[in-house]
Amino acid sequence: MSLSDVAREAGVSLTTASRALNDSYGVSAATKAKVLATARRLDYVVSPDAVRLAGGPTRRVALAVPHLERWFFGEMVSGIETVLSAAHFDLLLYQVGDADDRHDFFTRLPARRKVDAVVVVAFPVDQHEQERLALMGVSIIAAGGQNADYPYVCIDDYRAGRLAVDHLLELGHRRIAMIAAHDPDQPGWPARSGRSAAYVDALTEAGIAVDHSLIRDVDWGGLNAASAMADILDANPEHAPTAVFAHSDELALGAIRTLRRRGLRIPDDLSVVGIDDHPLAALTDLTTVHQSVREQGEIAARLVLDTLNPGPTADGGVPTSVTAPVTLTVRASTGPAPDRRRPTAATADGPSRREHDRPTAEHPQET
């Protein structure tokens, strides 16, 4: 299939067809739409070799992002943009928030072939979508996790989960709840994530049977986590958990809202740990597993540059995968399990030190 075939089918000149496919000036919106529709129907893909012969590399990178409004994705995009802009590359941002967006993206982009690389940010690409990307003949990089065989940067979700749950176990907690989450608009991830697998393995290795009444898997979002926490408490009125592991800080903060509304003290009655080190984690004294999302974005951008301009490495090739480090950051939302907490002299005769530390009108708590 050639450009001439597309032009003939669309009833336009070769020059007009070329300009429409390359989003150039001088073509009406109606004509451009007709040419693009014809190219899609014929499964025409602009030849990368022809583009390079005509004008060299485009110095543009497509960024496919499921959610622009969420902190994780904003940090990732910021890191990618910082490195690529310094290398004089432009970013084309595509939001693929639901099935319609994804279909539109994977249908249109290969036909227009106006980028040198595509970065897929934290959503799984299915077989058909992989085939569409392969038509482009450009570099594909995955940032934040992937199920396809692309160069990638991400964290080890299993290790992050183990750091969180092992921390609670070391504090003496034995009834540990878990709030997991999934994105209903992005199917394709494993049924059990690395973070969930870490929870099960940590409890099993500690000789603790997994209690499914303490586990909830919800659509992503803090409010859904708040409802899940309430559901866990209501399902276990006589044997409530003493700690909760949330798959992200935003889920953890949702759980904390429920605990506070129920009059439960954190961490005296129940400890909470999350993953991410979201900016709100430090402000709310949340114990979490830190990951640098911005740094992962910078690494993804460098993978793009390395694949476009490969240089020597220690083993003579271009690195194809990077696992970013994670570390446990302990703050005030976790403490010893209630039966491990030592009584103080103050608890026998009056308020505890923690009660003395509570904010008052004269000494408000920092926020």
Q: Tell me, yes or no, whether 280 lies in a domain.
A: yes
Amino acid at 144: G
Mark whether 150 and 163 lie in a shared domain: no
Mark whether 21 and 41 lie in a shared domain: yes
Instruction: Determine if residue 43 is left, alpha or beta; phi over 0 gives left, psi from -120 to 50 gives alpha, anything else beta.
Output: left
Q: Tell me, yes or no, whether 162 lies in a domain.
A: yes
Domain extent at residue 24: 3-53
Q: Tell me, yes or no, whether 87 lies in a domain.
A: yes
Q: Tell me, yes or no, whether 260 lies in a domain.
A: yes
What pLDDT is stored for residue 242 in this prediction?
98
Question: pTM of this prediction?
Answer: 0.78
Distance CA(351)–CA(356), nearest Å, equals 7
Mark whether 285 and 166 lie in a shared domain: yes
3-state secondary structure of 54: helix
Q: Tell me, yes or no, whether 333 lies in a domain.
A: no
> Does the pLDDT of residue 154 top 80, yes or no?
yes
Distance CA(123)–CA(137), nearest Å, equals 21
Mark whether 206 and 233 lie in a shared domain: yes
Q: Tell me, yes or no, whether 340 lies in a domain.
A: no
Q: How many domains does the chain have?
A: 3
> Does the pLDDT of residue 316 top 70, yes or no?
no
Mark whether 166 and 149 lie in a shared domain: no
Q: What is the mean pLDDT of the chain?
A: 86
Return the DSSP state at 88: T
Query: What percent of the chain has a predicted confidence (pLDDT) above 90?
Result: 60
Residue 205's domain is classified under what CATH number?
3.40.50.2300
29-40 mean pLDDT: 88
**Would you call 280 exposed, middle or buried from its count of C-beta atoms within 10 A (0-12, 13-18, 19+)?**
middle
Distance CA(41)–CA(19), nearest Å, equals 18
Cα torsion through 181, 187, 189, 193, rounded to 10: 20
Distance CA(318)–CA(303), nearest Å, equals 8
> Does the pLDDT of residue 53 top 70, yes or no?
no
Mark whether 47 and 101 lie in a shared domain: no
- Which carries the bigger pLDDT value, residue 109 or residue 37? 37
Length of the chain: 367
Mark whether 216 and 116 lie in a shared domain: no
Q: Tell me, yes or no, whether 166 lies in a domain.
A: yes
